[in-house]
Structure 1
Amino acid sequence: MSPKLLRSIGAIAIALAAAAATAQDASKATDYRLAPGDSIRVQVYQNPDLSVDARVSESGVVNYPLIGPVQIGGLSITEAERAIAQALQKGNILKQPQVNINLVQQRGNNVAVLGQVQKPGRFNLETTNMRVSEMLAAAGGITTTADEVATITGTRNGQPFRKQVDIPALLSGKSGDDLVLSPGDTVYVEKAPTFYIYGEAQRPGNYRVERNMTVMQAIAAGGGITARGSQNRVRITRTNPDGKTVEISPRLTDVVQPGDVLFVRESIF
């Protein structure tokens, strides 16, 4: 083989190595945050016995030989490398470990949208700054039985994260709580609280409790009072926080509470 050809092969090899290094650096520069379900390969320089393929658990943990569980969920790949290296040092396994992590399979780059939405399921994060309102839209929006609050759970900086956000404010674009979602987050929309109305109501039944709903508004939701009923003879059966059931005679301006049962009595005249 001629020296010229050898030099060409050498140049190609150097270029390929440089490209591989650049690609690896670029993958870490994206600052991808590890999430439950991700598969990773951990390698320790000059210590092949400590190399391991692992899957990030639902709690954001990987079990690593000799040092046990390491919390890496929510960390970038660089931060996860540092966390495992520190664990190896703390466990007196290696003095100066050089840890490298490669993302083998990305399973956590999605968000679960559950509860009272039109299309519950898992949805991919199409961008790195996808917000709660966009994810609710991807799920087809909320149902008519949805509560006005969505609960966001996940991990941030390796710690459990939970926050409730106001849906009407989100959809109006006036909320500062339209959070940027992270891989592995769950958006849960609960069923709206309800009350029940019966007796001399035009349409007895179960109805949604609107925000700051008064007794008068609850009666209107049930179609109003029949000709035989009296708005002055409304009774509410309510369960207190201590579990005791009480019956009260409310004012029409009193606020209805979730679980209230309204009984419209007949007029005495």
Structure 2
Amino acid sequence: MKKLILWLAMSMAMCMALVLRPAGAADIVLGAGDVLKLSVYGSPDLALETRVSDSGAITFPLIGQVTVGGLTVPAAEKKIGGMLESGGYVKRAQVNILVTQIQSQQISVLGQVNRPGRYPVDGKRNLMDVLAQAGGIGPEGGDTVSLIRTRDGKTTREVVDVIQMVQAADFNRDYALQPNDIIYVERAPRFYIYGEVQHPGAVRLERNMTVLQALSAGGGLTPRGTERGMRIKRKDASGQLQVLSVKHDDVIQVDDVVYVKESLF
């Protein structure tokens, strides 16, 4: 139940982030592959729908090739308008550009999300915005998200605990994103339980999960099982396998293997 409440809270927060931070056309930087619909006020014959070439240019009626790659929408509108005016084609040209497809400014969302893929950076977008666009973290996803970014030629990886961020209502780590950033949601950590339990196998590891809670997650004891003498197989820092006797309130770790013995009576 606690996990469900946290998941709902996180989903609501992501949806609010998406609603409260809408994209603005003025924030879009044009690039190769973007599809543009252009019009000039009072000159319907100059209307055009085109795609920005790999070199960042479009071909516009009367003035020919115009480089718009790297410009914001208002800057591109001003540039084309200025070229129409300086060429004597249109007086006080009012150019309007509508970006119908954004291909150049995208972010990759991978891993355990409901809709992995590439998403356009159509304006200012933060981490939670894009997670919301991708349908949120899937049922197999963990609580943390890796954000991989390249700035000034240096690639970094930042791990963000989104559950903790929502619980604390502290969005200082809801980072602003840029094109070519990568969001990766890993699978939730697991442990394994076998022996005399109802549902042996891999189980999602919740935070601060105890041995007794692990036993419950495995469906409880079989009629032949006993809570006495439970063991955990765990690798130490050097990779050596250890077999540990455990108590009910001991905390389970990632990749632990819990063994439940058969009762002798």
TM-score, normalising length: structure 1: 0.59
Partner of 2:236: 240
Summarize the Cα distance change of 1:157–1:115 in structure 2 as closer, same or farther, 3 Å threshold: same
**Residue 137 (structure 2) aligned to one of 130, 138, 142:** 142
Corresponding position of 2:179: 183
Q: Pick closer, same or farther for the CA change 1:224–1:174 going to 2, 3 Å.
A: farther
The 1:221/1:30 distance shift into structure 2, 3 A limit, reads: closer
**Stretch moving more, 230-239 or 170-179:** 170-179
Unmatched runs of 5 consecutive residues or more in structure 2: 1-25, 33-52, 57-66, 72-101
- For residue 161 of structure 1, the aligned residue among 156, 160, 179 is 156
The Cα of 1:107 is off from its aligned counterpart by: 5.0
For 1:221, the equivalent position in structure 2 comes to 217
Kindly name which structure, 1 or 2, has the bigger radius of gyration based on alpha carbons. Answer: 1
Q: Is the 8 A contact 2:236 2:242 kept in 1?
A: yes
- Give the superposition deviation at 1:30: 6.1
Match of 1:188, SS state, is: strand
Aligned to 1:132: 127
Is 2:116 aligned against 1:120? Answer: yes
Please list the CA deviations of residues 108-166 of structure 1 after superposition, one character each: whole Å capped at 9, or x if unmatched.
411100001111110011222x1111111111111111111100011234432321101
- Post-superposition offset of 1:239: 2.0
Q: In 2, are the aligned partners of 1:233 and 1:267 still within 8 Å (CA)? A: no
SS at match of 1:198: strand
| Alpha-carbon distance change, 219 to 175 in structure 1, aligned in 2, over 3 angstroms | farther
Per-residue CA deviations over 1:73-129 (Å, capped at 9, x if unaligned) read xxx98xxxxxxxxxxxxxxxxxxxxxxxxxxxx85411100001111110011222x
Whole-angstrom distance in 1 between the partners of 2:244 and 2:105: 51
- In 2, distance between residues paired with 1:151 and 1:263? 33
Tell me how many residue pairs correspond in the alignment: 182
TM-superposed CA distance for 1:198, in Å, is 1.2
Change in 2 beyond 3 A, CA 1:33/1:161: farther
Equivalence for 1:80:
none
Amino acid in structure 2 at the alignment position of 1:197: I
Read off the aligned partner of 2:211 and give its amino acid letter.
V
| Residue 199 in structure 1 maps to residue 195 in structure 2 | yes
Q: What's 2:262 paired with? A: 266
What amino acid sits opposite 2:158 in the alignment? K
Quick check: 2:103–2:120 contact (8 Å CA) kept in 1? no
TM-score by length of 2: 0.60
Alpha-carbon distance between aligned partners in 2 of 1:167 and 1:33, rounded to the nearest angstrom: 31
Q: Report the counterpart of residue 99 of structure 1 in structure 2.
A: none
Partner of 1:72: none
CA distance in 1, matches of 2:119, 2:147: 15
Percent of aligned pairs with the same residue? 39
Q: Secondary structure at the match of 1:134?
A: helix
Question: Structure 1 unaligned runs (5+)?
Answer: 1-28, 42-52, 56-75, 78-105
Shift of 1:228: 2.2
Q: Which residue among 111, 122, 126 is the counterpart of 2:107?
A: 111
CA contact (8 A) 2:205 2:254 kept: yes
Q: Which has the higher contact order (CA 8 A, sep 6+)?
A: 2
Change beyond 3 A, Cα 1:219–1:195: same
Q: Alpha carbons of 1:157 and 1:31: their partners in 2 closer, same or farther (altered >3 Å)?
A: farther
Aligned partners of 1:133 and 1:170 also within 8 Å: no
